[in-house]
Amino acid sequence: MFGHFAGQTSLFFSSTLEWPEHMAAPSGRGSILRRSCAISGQEMETQLSLSIILSATAVVVFLYWYLTSTFSYWEKRGVPFVKPLPVFGNVADHIFLRNTSSESYAKIYKKLEGHQFGGFYSGSTPNLIVRDPVIIKQILVKDFNHFIDRNLSFAEKISPLACNIFVLTGSRWRKLRGKLTPSFTSGKTRMLLPTVVGCSQDLVSFLGDSADDNNIIEIRNVAANFNTDVIGSCGFGLEINSMKKPDSEFRRMGNKVFQPTFLTGALRSLGLIYRPILNLVQSPIARKDVNNFFLGIVKETMTYREKNKVVRDDFLQYLIQLKNKGKVDEDLVSIKDDINMTFTEVESSSNEGEDEPLEMTDTLLAAQCLGFFLAGFETSSTTISCCLHELAVNPDIQEKLRKEVDTVLIKNGGQITYEALQDMKYMDSVVDETLRKYPPVGSLTRFCTKDYQIPGTNVNIDKDVKVVIPVYALHHDPKYYPDPEKFDPERFSPENIKSQPSCTYIPFGEGPRICIEDVDTPNFQSYLFHHALATRHTSHVNIDKDVKVVIPVYAIHHDPKYYPDPEKFDPERFSPENIKSQPNCTYLPFGEGPRICIGLRFGLMQVKVGLTALLSKYKFSVCEKTSDTPNFQSYLFHHALATRHTSQDKPPR
């Protein structure tokens, strides 16, 4: 009985029971009591340790289940997929910053060889990657109303300037796109040409002294300064003069947008595992100082122009017209120009759901100027840098291009005119090949906004699933570009372009004509298109609403199936003859369909003007600091290139 009592007391007291001093503790029973209390304490510690272990095990098991519970998603739907790793899915290399997203998608693209599309996982989230150019065209153009939104989202409450054309979704995007489209016609681009040429002359003057001394230059910084001047003048109405003032406030604020911290990059990578983590990441355009700077510039410039009745031919002036009149003046642009749209058809075909209001506020207009900067700065700088790198490595191609530049400029009185740029066919091939080998946007992503069945299959893409188009992989696929690592401009000669499959070259999209062609397709062409789908697929595939569809542009551009020896820089791939045989949607440097880069025409003009100005004066050659291939950081699209340049009449030393 006493032992039973002692056992009970041990549940409430950790110390041994003490007897009063005037009482003598029974020798036998006292020792039993103390031993019983000590044993009970050990049991409690053991039970506590066991509870902790069991709880931790339960948490680990739950997390494992939670992070792998979706791994049967594609298997249940009969879709081929790449086997994922627990926690990381198929993007572990990108999460640990060992690869860019383009390179990760290219690996997935290769593992799914032989399939038109396949599933993979970003962490535990199921995504779809599309390999077949016919399906890519269907997603980007024909069935665009199912894939309106991009994989971009920033809270406007956190970043007011996040409401730019590249981030907006749904009806707000459609309305704004329709209003901005007239600002990017060929007529508008032609008006901006003198400004761009003026910036190129500053570039040539800046390089003059270093050419005489045969100095080594960091071409990436030079190209960035040139593009800063162009965008500052054409987009904001400012004379930046970055060549002489590389540390100007505009340049400094612009750099902040493209220089996230390592922590930001790491958090973005972890967001691939668990998307809500992205809400913890402060976007560069969400920084208060960046917001205040760009918003202040736009408001101040708009107020000054309206007060003093100043009118300039630049992007900001068109935004002022849009604010005051609700549209861009028709007498200032080529309304009949075929810029990427029969937009009313796209709008009417996809104008479903809630009609969100769109007020032309100063903040909204400032956001478009920032979007103009974001879209034009990095892409154009990268293209010019990579092109000059390849020209330095391939002096025979450089010389052929220089001869064309000199010949055309002589025909046009030494002036860089719009007509002169149109006459430089080999320049087009060189730029196209640069965009193939180094697409500024290595992949295109579209979110499925309503359930979609892939034509000719029984597979559904659910709403909110992300679809990836692997542009880089397509551009380096030997099936479309033999020897894809070779730089060969002849791939894009007029003859070769004719045989190029549609949607195998999509660095920023096929351009406005493709959209018009596809919306206004005659019955015969429509028959051929659907016949091609019917003969290539044997079952129905539905894409559920909210499923993300990935188009791996980088992988497509480097697929030997489309571009033999894809790492070779070969402008001949894009000769007029070769382009004819290029498969559709295998060249996507600017995307494809209604959501392609709205400033495509301006961006290409900017690149060509810069190259024309440089090649007409200087020769470029490799030096000891020139890398074999440009390197791209895994969490920041930025790289450095060094070349040596000399005046055209002096041989490189």
* Residue 274 to residue 329: CA distance in whole angstroms: 46
What residues form the annotated binding site?
Answer: 597
Torsion of CA 508, 151, 101, 79, to 10 degrees: -100
Contact 134, 532 (CB under 8 A): yes
Q: How many helices (H) and strands (E) does the chain have?
A: 22, 20
CB contact set of 177 (below 8 Å; sequence gap of 6+): 165, 343, 594, 598
* Residue 71 to residue 65: CA distance in whole angstroms: 10
Q: Please name the residue ranges forming H helices in 218-314.
A: 219-236, 249-257, 262-270, 288-308
Residue 417, Cβ density class (10 Å: 0-12 exposed, 13-18 middle, ≥19 buried): middle
* Residue 72 to residue 323: CA distance in whole angstroms: 50
Assigned token pair, 120: 């993979």
How far apart are the two ends of the chain, measured CA to CA in Å?
105
* Residue 357 to residue 172: CA distance in whole angstroms: 7
Maximum distance among all Cα pairs of the chain, rounded to whole angstroms: 123
Residue owning tokens 């032992």: 3
Assigned token pair, 242: 């970055």
Assigned token pair, 630: 């440009």
Residue 480, phi then psi, degrees to nearest 5: -100, -35
Assigned token pair, 106: 């290219």
- Taken in order 456, 71, 75, 451, the sign of the CA dihedral is negative
Contact 127, 104 (CB under 8 A): no
Contact 239, 208 (CB under 8 A): no
3-state secondary structure (DSSP) of residue 149: strand
Assigned token pair, 468: 């990836």
Classify strands 444-447 and 547-558 as parallel, antiparallel or unpaired. antiparallel
* Residue 588 to residue 131: CA distance in whole angstroms: 13
574, amino acid identity: F
Residue owning tokens 């920023």: 508
* Residue 387 to residue 433: CA distance in whole angstroms: 9
CB crowding 421-456: b at 16 or more within 10 Å, else e: bebbbbbbbbbbbbbbbbbbbbbbbbbbbbbbbbbb
Residue 138, Cβ density class (10 Å: 0-12 exposed, 13-18 middle, ≥19 buried): buried
3-state secondary structure (DSSP) of residue 85: strand
Q: H-helix or E-strand containing 458?
A: strand 458-462
447, amino acid identity: F
Q: How far is CA 56 from CA 42, 43, 61, 62, 193, in A?
A: 21, 20, 9, 10, 65
What residues form the annotated binding site for heme?
Answer: 597
* Residue 68 to residue 486: CA distance in whole angstroms: 41
